[in-house]
Structure 1
Amino acid sequence: MRKIADIDVLADAVLQARMVRLSLLMLAAGLAAAVLVLVAEGGRELGLGWLLALAVASVASLPAHELVHGAAFKLLCPGARVSFGVKDAFLYTSASGAVVPRGRELAALLAPTVVVTAALAAGTLAASCSALAILLCSFHLSGCVGDALMAAAILAEPACTHVQDAEFGVTLLSKE
């Protein structure tokens, strides 16, 4: 396989700055939408239990996100050794060295975006807490920006047929 490019989310300062900007934009949009919903509903959701749920679910969504990555890697990359780590402010999951078709890597990258966000939305909406749903989902989606940017880079490279997961991010590969 021929190496096309590395996407280094742990050391690329330009990529990290882009991730921070997009994350902040997602948080700001979520906060604005939640405030509009709270105002429209007369603030009836607010209370100590609401704030506690916001704090607990926000913190719990971070490791849940990484566990979903790990499960997706195990399911889609048979035999891959999955590890978890922390670098600066980033939690990450790695199947370092595993080479998989790009579609499987995309699925593993985006699985938490779908699964965890859907779980947060379902739980809070079932409890009739729409503003909380918006805040929690925007918080979680702000943490998915790195995965989304890696997925976009994979999709933007038409020659990429396979992806090798790495401790630093991913390496785009071509069969040619």
Structure 2
Amino acid sequence: MNRIIISILTKMCIEEPGHWYKYVSKVQRVINSTYQRSINTTPFELLTGVKLKMKEDMKILEFLEEEGRMEFIQKRDEARREAKAQILRIQEENRRTYNKKRKEGEKYVLGDIVAIQRTQFGNALKLKPKFYGPYRVTKIDRGKEGPMRTTSAVDCMKRWP
């Protein structure tokens, strides 16, 4: 609250900065008559049981609302910055963890003999070998995206024993 009060007093006594004390009671009255979400009413109404009626001091009320908006925007922007930084930290941590487990695919050349991993499993296939083969590498497509004419990806192949 002190940050808001100081900001409002600064704006009100811009012509005479030394006379800020003249506006303290007005600012206090406006703050006491402003709805507070935390108590679901105004501080004045909570203390006395009646609403404070005032038509003057509208400029102070405008300053107070503006300060409230600015504080909200600053808190929201800071929370967003912190969330973005946290997301980047977690992504980097995940990347490092993933890369520890991930190994580079083996490089094959034309004519290599390979086995290809079986991708269908079931009760009847349980005791069958996990790899088919031997097969000979007849074509290598590197760096292409989309449909490829290869029959298997590198991570589903291994050298024939």
Please give the range of the TM-score, normalised by the shorter of the 2 chains. under 0.3
- Point out the structure with the larger strand share: 1
- Point out the structure with the larger helix share: 1
Larger Rg: 2
TM-score (norm 1): 0.24
TM-score (norm 2): 0.25
Q: Which has the higher contact order (CA 8 A, sep 6+)?
A: 1
